[in-house]
């Protein structure tokens, strides 16, 4: 409406907040899965939640080699 220019974007801040939370949860979730794949502690995924450190932590997680597994790991 012409009387209230912010009426058109009223739901936009909520959508931005919800999408940010969704991406954040996905980042930490995938970090935990990657840490389990490398055999490291799950709590280190919280490093991806620290501003400015998260970019470095994400790159390090991407470059870590996977843990070698054998048939006996399943037993």
20: in domain: yes
1: in domain: no
Asked whether the predicted pLDDT for residue 1 surpasses 70, the reply is: no
Range of the domain at 35: 12-64
Q: Is 53 exposed, middle or buried (0-12, 13-18, 19+ CB in 10 A)?
A: exposed
Number of domains in the chain: 1
Sign of the torsion angle spanned by Cα atoms 48, 49, 51, 53 = negative
The first and second tokens of residue 3, run together, are 């009387």
pLDDT in tens, 5-40: 777 677 778 888 899 999 999 999 999 999 999 989
Q: State the pTM of this model.
A: 0.71
42: in domain: yes
Which of 75, 69, 49 is CA-nearest to residue 61? 49
46: in domain: yes
């Amino acid at each position: 409406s012409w009387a209230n220019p912010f009426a058109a974007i009223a739901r936009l801040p909520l959508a931005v907040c919800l999408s940010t939370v969704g991406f954040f949860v996905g980042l930490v979730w995938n970090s935990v899965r990657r840490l389990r794949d490398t055999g490291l502690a799950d709590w280190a995924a919280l490093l991806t939640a620290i501003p400015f450190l998260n970019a470095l932590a994400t790159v390090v997680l991407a470059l870590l080699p996977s843990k070698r597994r054998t048939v006996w790991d399943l037993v």
